[in-house]
Structure 1
Amino acid sequence: MAPVAPPTARRDVAKLARRALVTVGPALAQPHLQHLSRRGLSVNHTQGVTLGVIAAYVVVIALLWNIPYVKYVLWPFKMLVIAFHEFGHAITACCTGGRVESISLDPNEGGVTHMRGGIQAITLPAGYLGSSLIGALLTFCGFNIVASKIASIALGVCFLLTLWWARKDWLTIVTILLAVGLLVGCWFIKHAEALRFVVLFIGVMSSLYSVWDICDDLILRKVNSSDASVFAKRYGGSSTCWGVIWSLISLFLMVCGILAGLAAFKQSSKQQQDDSKDFIPTMRMLLRI
């Protein structure tokens, strides 16, 4: 015959069972808690729209980049990302003990940064990789209005530095001033929501610039004076090999920017506009004027 537990012991076991149900019950009733990591990778409506816009930007830029005559539509933005490219050369030259003498932009041949000194193993790839890093950061900020405002301020600082180095080149000056005017104007459209899509476009184009430009220089046109060819002559390897490596790094940085934007900015479009009203509220400033 099996032993029978005393009444007090049975009551204690019943209490423990009820306590376990109270503790575990909510988790069992809400199975989504068991998939928290899966929820973290989910995409809401606003993020889905942003991803769709990014995909559309990639297609439009790829088409306009290669179609004769129509490609001139991209000219102002192409000049802008070339400025980012030259800024990458210039800022790394300054950080490695060099001196920047001037920057000039050419709509057909690209840009040129005249500098002395610096560590060329860093300054040569910094053009493509620097513009790719800037593009990834802008793509990340393009997922949120307030982040886009902050990014536009940082861009303004970069533009001022580039403007100082390019103060003798009128084309560079006009390009930068037009870019600054575009960014400032977008601050006043629907609590800067338009600014978010402009920042996103510049980010996508800057991220992909190195890929397409390296393809043009090393595969299609076989230009011998590219950054990759100079790097290969000085440090070994082939220009095509270095170009492919830099292109892969650029694509990797772009993907990182997109994933970081999805993880960091979960707000809806309405929430972003409400947040933007409290961060340098340009609409109120406009109404006062």
Structure 2
Amino acid sequence: MAPVISPALRSVAHHTGPVLRSAVAAAAPLVLRRAAALLSDVAEHGHEQHTARDAHQLSSRGLSVTDTQKVTLGVIAAYVVAIALLWNIPYVRNVLWPFKMLVIAFHEFGHAIMAVCTGGRVISIELDPREGGVTHMQGGRAAFTLPAGYLGSSLIGALLTFCGFDIVASKIASFVLAACFLLTMWWGKRDWLTILTIVLAIGLLVACWFIKHAEPLRFVVLFIGVMSSLYSVWDICDDLILRKVNSSDASVFAKRYGGSSQCWGVLWSFISLIFMVIGIVAGIAAFPESFSEQEKDSQNFIPTM
């Protein structure tokens, strides 16, 4: 039976599709210029690869960290500490609600997408920042759908972290995030606090577009990326180590396929950390531009202020 697509999903896709296509089309020349510059650099230095020392120099140049990237890495480290604290402090952690809702949505999207890819269909998705989320589905292969939640959210987080190294990439990512926020509001528990916080989060994305050529936007995208990348680590630690909850994806996986829930949880967390590291390294390699250079590029891509 063909998978059922929510009317909300069709509506969001209908309205955001043209915007996304326009954004990608506008960004294409910039991406092509960067790719051409990279290929030119490789061609120019290709003859150096016949010696180990020259190959090492080329590798060092490609992975060198600029001052702008050092700031970004420092911000990532600060985010890790801040989110870890906010995640566990009563009342104060409510500040994270809209972002936690979004990350939970990424988790459930992972389950849903993998269910469809393995022959199943999605019946419904429910989201609640207090209780977590649940995806109701029929069919699919549990061996793939169960870990897809944590690994899917961490993969999305790695992509957002990658985009967070550059303003133009963050602009493109913000369109996707806005659409996901709207889907999250549709599937989430619709109390006044959830709706208010999600509306404020979307407002934050929009406001960042009009500040210093959207430079703050990349730090918002980076924040969501870091939180999504480490969601599996914090959630598994919270459920399996601190609270010993028996209804997690890891515990269900352990009952069906053997092993312990703690073992599977730690393994998935380790993979999530690998995804995050790959996203950071890719960001360093792809976006060496300074803040001023990024602002100049941003002025040529849906310019604001």
The TM-score, its normalising length taken from structure 2, stands at 0.76
User: Within 5 Å, which residues of 2 pair with 1:236-275?
Assistant: 236-275=258-297
What's the offset of the Cα at 1:160?
5.2
The CA distance in 1 between the partners of 2:132 and 2:72, in whole Å, is 30
Contact 1:103 1:162 in 2 (8 A): no
Partner of 1:11: none
- Report the counterpart of residue 234 of structure 1 in structure 2: 256
Aligned residue for 1:102, secondary structure, equals: strand
Q: Could you say if the C-alpha distance between residues 92 and 157 of structure 1 is closer, same or farther in structure 2, counting changes exceeding 3 Å? A: farther
Return closer, same or farther for 1:272/1:77 CA change in 2, 3 Å cut-off.
same
- The CA distance in 1 between the partners of 2:100 and 2:273, in whole Å, is 18
> Structure 1 residues 204, 34: closer, same or farther in 2, change over 3 A?
closer
Q: Secondary structure at the match of 1:232?
A: helix
The match for 1:170 among 190, 200, 216 is 190
Q: Residue in 2 aligned with 1:200? A: 222
Per the alignment, in what secondary structure is the counterpart of residue 218 of structure 2?
helix
Once the two structures are TM-superposed, the CA of residue 213 in structure 1 deviates from its matched residue by 0.3
Distance between the aligned counterparts of 2:98 and 2:182, measured in 1?
Answer: 17
Quick one: structure 1 residues 33 and 228, their matched pair in 2 at CA, closer, same or farther if it must change by over 3 Å?
Answer: closer
Q: Percent identity?
A: 78
Moved more, 107-116 or 70-79: 70-79
Superposed CA offset, 1:211-267 (max 9, x none): 010001111100000000111111221111110100000000001100110111000
Q: Which stretch has the larger CA shift, 131-140 or 81-90?
A: 81-90
**Residue 131 (str. 1) matches residue 150 (str. 2):** no
Pick one of 152, 176, 183 that aligns with 2:174. 152
**Residues 114 and 176 (structure 1 numbering): CA distance in 2 closer, same or farther, change over 3 Å?**
farther
For 1:64, the aligned partner's letter is L
Matched residue, 1:117: 139
Distance 1:219 1:34 in 2: 43
The answer to whether structure 1 residue 74 and structure 2 residue 123 are counterparts is no
Q: Is the 8 A contact 1:135 1:204 kept in 2?
A: yes
Pairing 1:279–2:301 present: yes
C-alpha separation in 1, matches of 2:113 and 2:291: 35
2:84 is the counterpart of 1:42: no
How much does 1:157 deviate?
4.3
Letter in 2 for 1:110: G
Deviations, residues 78-100 of structure 1 (Å, cap 9, x unaligned): 12211111111122222222222
Cα shift at 1:188: 1.7
Larger radius of gyration: 1
Query: Aligned residues, how many?
Result: 252
Q: What secondary structure does 1:191 align onto?
A: helix
Change (3 A) 1:191 1:91: same
Segments of structure 2 that go 5 or more residues without pairing to the other structure are 1-47
- Offset, 1:124: 0.9
Partner-residue secondary structure (3-state), 2:212: coil
Q: For structure 1, which segment, 195-204 or 64-73, has the greater mean C-alpha deviation from structure 2 after superposition?
A: 64-73
Q: Which runs of 5+ in 1 are unaligned?
A: 1-26, 284-289
Aligned residue in 1 for 2:80: 58
Q: Distance in 1 between matches of 2:141 and 2:196?
A: 31
TM-score when scaled to structure 1? 0.80
In structure 1, what is the Cα distance between the partners aligned to 2:67 and 2:104?
33
| Cα 1:173–1:95 shift into 2, 3 Å | farther
